[in-house]
With several copies, the nearest count.
Chain A
Amino acid sequence: MRLMRALVTLAVLLTAWHALVWATGLPRFILPGPLAVADALQRNAGLLAQHAATTLSEILVGLALGVLLGTASAILLASVRGARRWLMPLLVVSQAIPVFALAPLLVLWLGYGMASKIAMATLVIYFPVTTALFDGLRRTEPGWLDLARTMGASGASTLWHIRLPAALPALASGIRVAAAVAPIGAVIGEWVGSSSGLGYLMLHANARMQVDLLFAALFVLGAFAVALYAATDALLRRALPWLPDSHAFDEKD
């Protein structure tokens, strides 16, 4: 049932895309039609699969690292008053720095291998996770904090047993955003310099005006994003069963 709905969704989107191309008469090198892309997808299946594997592993490692680091930073921010003052501005600035300014530094320190790409993906994922969790940690029900205080809980214990679980819904929200932006993080990482990955393939295809291949790669990337988002959403809702939730991403009919 859900699979069927997904297929219908896909079909409608493809038709809309086709109609758009057809109606606006956009040239192939600006926006190829779905048929051309499907053709490119099929012709380059092997190539795409190979580059997709690279990108996927970057995404997954980046997501894991970003979530870990983000969680750690948010906890640090929430628990150490000093950290808040010093780290937060730094964090915010980190989001405003375009990759090409950092690229030589990253390459110098991490080389041209996987590490620099993962670092970029991590950086992209890091911020939404950190702010979302930090925001959640800021907003613990005061009654619970009072309770913990009278029970003689240390700050660390309150954080771990009360504030953190209470902020998990906010963290989940951040992770959902992170899951959706993780693919672009990996692709940006590949701009730092690489010889494989979907980002590499896309830049390449773009420069060579192989626009149908570019869109085929985009399609794969989009599929990753949706799959990752849906998986994360399902997982998170399973992990937080006590949460009220009126609309799930994969709701039943």
Chain B
Amino acid sequence: AQDKLTVLLDWFVNPDHAPLVVAKEMGFFKDAGLDVELVAPADPNDPPKLVAAGKAELAVSYQPQLQVQVGEGLPLVRVGTLVSTPLNSLVVLADGPVKSVKDLKGRKVGFSVGGFEDALLGAMLEKAGLSLKDVTLVNVNFSLSPSILSGQVDAVIGAFRNFELNQMAIEKHPGRAFYPEEEGVPAYDELILVANKAQTNDPRLPKFLAAVERAVLYILNHPEEAHAAFTKGRPELNDELNRRAWADTLPRFSHSPAALDAARYARFATFLKARGLIKEALPVDAYAVTLK
């Protein structure tokens, strides 16, 4: 018998989810005795809530959000890592007037409300000797690339380096990315897997992570076959943009999804506290664990 397991993605299926999709398509979950259902929400903020409410076993989320959510009292813990580098970046037009973060002074920066873009941008600006007061922040919701391509804003924060950059290149307006981890923001895991705090000893979770690990390695070893499995039945994911994003995302998958770098989490918690997003930096083991 297969154990049912519901996993909420952070958003619609995209190459960021390759290990999960490939593990499902290649039967790795089934081999581990799991019947996994992947569900895509439209609002990335919903999955953690639903996991906290017991509606699903696992959710794909982001490390900064997790730390904020735990600060707000949600009973969540990180149990695995999908993408172990930041993906978020500050993007401007490559041939535009902004050559460095300093040049943002007096300009408009678009963002899609994720909850901590202002913190990220604030840190980057301060390193460049500016502050949030020197720019105008505009919520552009889901239209990051169009808003910058059409000149409505001069930069966008919250753009994914594996995505928006490719998008802009395809539109023949290549972008330039400023990477937060190079501009004063501590490095963090972009995509993580979170579970309900009460469920950390659920025996299905280690099996799940093992299957994900197997998929990551399979993708690295057999990129062609993995891509075929990824796009099977999802022809809309087999276009130019998604192929490029696929290639750019591959090297960023955590090779060891279950492993936890506690010091990294502690460092980032200090950063979030300094930016006023959380009231106190909880001990890491309160919200991030390595499953036995």
Cβ-closest chain B residue relative to A100: B43
Instruction: Give, as a whole number of angstroms, the nearest-CB distance from A196 to chain B.
Output: 9
Which B residues lie within 8 Å of A90 (CB)? none
Indicate if the CB atoms of B46 and A210 lie closer than 8 Å. no
Indicate if the CB atoms of A193 and B49 lie closer than 8 Å. no
Which A residues lie within 8 Å of B69 (CB)? 209
Chain B: how many interface residues by the 8 Å CB criterion? Answer: 53
Query: Is A108 among interface residues, defined by CB-CB distance under 8 A?
Result: yes
Query: Is A206 among interface residues, defined by CB-CB distance under 8 A?
Result: yes
With A47-B236, A111-B152, A204-B236 given, is the CB distance from A104 to B73 under 8 Å? no
Indicate if the CB atoms of A193 and B52 lie closer than 8 Å. no
Binary CB contact string for chain A from 168 to 205 against chain B (1 if under 8 A, 0 otherwise): 00000000000000000000001111110000110111
Indicate if the CB atoms of A29 and B146 lie closer than 8 Å. yes
Instruction: Give, as a whole number of angstroms, the nearest-CB distance from B142 to chain A.
Output: 6
Residues 27-78 (chain A) with a chain B CB within 8 angstroms: 27-30, 44, 47
Instruction: Give, as a whole number of angstroms, the nearest-CB distance from A113 to chain B.
Output: 10
Indicate if the CB atoms of B42 and A104 lie closer than 8 Å. no
A103 to B40, CA, bound (A): 13
Residues 166-200 (chain B) with a chain A CB within 8 angstroms: 167, 170-171
Query: Is A112 among interface residues, defined by CB-CB distance under 8 A?
Result: yes
Other-chain residue from B139, B147, B242 in contact with A208 (beta carbon distance below 8 A) = B242
Binary CB contact string for chain B from 126 to 141 against chain A (1 if under 8 A, 0 otherwise): 0000000000111111
Query: Is A107 among interface residues, defined by CB-CB distance under 8 A?
Result: yes
Residues 94-134 (chain B) with a chain A CB within 8 angstroms: 108, 110, 113-116
Indicate if the CB atoms of A104 and B115 lie closer than 8 Å. no
With A191-B141, A208-B239 given, is the CB distance from A103 to B74 under 8 Å? no
Which A residues lie within 8 Å of B13 (CB)? 195
Query: Is A207 among interface residues, defined by CB-CB distance under 8 A?
Result: yes
Other-chain residue from A103, A194, A207 in contact with B115 (beta carbon distance below 8 A) = A207
Query: Is B284 among interface residues, defined by CB-CB distance under 8 A?
Result: no
Indicate if the CB atoms of B72 and A112 lie closer than 8 Å. no
Which B residues lie within 8 Å of A191 (CB)? 42-43, 139, 141
With A108-B50, A209-B69 given, is the CB distance from A192 to B141 under 8 Å? yes
Residues 207-224 (chain A) with a chain B CB within 8 angstroms: 207-211, 213
Indicate if the CB atoms of B53 and A193 lie closer than 8 Å. no
Query: Is B260 among interface residues, defined by CB-CB distance under 8 A?
Result: no
Which A residues lie within 8 Å of B142 (CB)? 100, 103, 203, 206-207
Query: Is B55 among interface residues, defined by CB-CB distance under 8 A?
Result: yes
Query: Is B203 among interface residues, defined by CB-CB distance under 8 A?
Result: no
Indicate if the CB atoms of A108 and B53 lie closer than 8 Å. yes
A28 to B14, CA, bound (A): 22
Query: Is B251 among interface residues, defined by CB-CB distance under 8 A?
Result: no
Instruction: Give, as a whole number of angstroms, the nearest-CB distance from B247 to chain A.
Output: 15
Which A residues lie within 8 Å of B201 (CB)? none
Indicate if the CB atoms of A108 and B150 lie closer than 8 Å. yes
With A103-B46, A108-B150, A193-B39 given, is the CB distance from A29 to B72 under 8 Å? yes
Instruction: Give, as a whole number of angstroms, the nearest-CB distance from B108 to chain A.
Output: 8
A203 to B112, CA, bound (A): 9
Query: Is B145 among interface residues, defined by CB-CB distance under 8 A?
Result: yes
Other-chain residue from B50, B139, B149, B153 in contact with A194 (beta carbon distance below 8 A) = B139
Which A residues lie within 8 Å of B249 (CB)? none
Which A residues lie within 8 Å of B241 (CB)? 208-210
Other-chain residue from B115, B137, B140, B171 in contact with A29 (beta carbon distance below 8 A) = B171
A203 to B116, CA, bound (A): 12
Cβ-closest chain B residue relative to A192: B141
Other-chain residue from B12, B55, B147 in contact with A200 (beta carbon distance below 8 A) = B12
Indicate if the CB atoms of B236 and A205 lie closer than 8 Å. yes
Instruction: Give, as a whole number of angstroms, the nearest-CB distance from A115 to chain B.
Output: 13
Other-chain residue from A103, A208, A213 in contact with B141 (beta carbon distance below 8 A) = A103
Select the residue from B41, B139, B140 with max chain A CB neighbours within 10 A. Answer: B139
Instruction: Give, as a whole number of angstroms, the nearest-CB distance from B74 to chain A.
Output: 6
Query: Is B256 among interface residues, defined by CB-CB distance under 8 A?
Result: no
Interface positions of B (Cβ within 8 A of A): 11-14, 39-43, 45-46, 48-50, 52-53, 55, 65, 68-69, 72-74, 108, 110, 113-116, 136-143, 145-147, 149-150, 152-153, 167, 170-171, 235-236, 239, 241-242, 277
**3 nearest A-B residue pairs (beta carbon):** A207-B115, A193-B41, A191-B42
Q: A29-B73, A193-B147, A207-B113 are in contact. List 10 more A-B contacts (CB 8 A).
A: A100-B142, A104-B150, A190-B42, A192-B41, A193-B139, A206-B113, A208-B68, A209-B170, A210-B72, A213-B236
13 pairs of residues in contact across A and B, judged by CB atoms under 8 Å: A27-B171, A29-B171, A30-B150, A103-B142, A107-B55, A107-B140, A112-B41, A112-B140, A192-B143, A204-B113, A204-B115, A206-B45, A209-B241
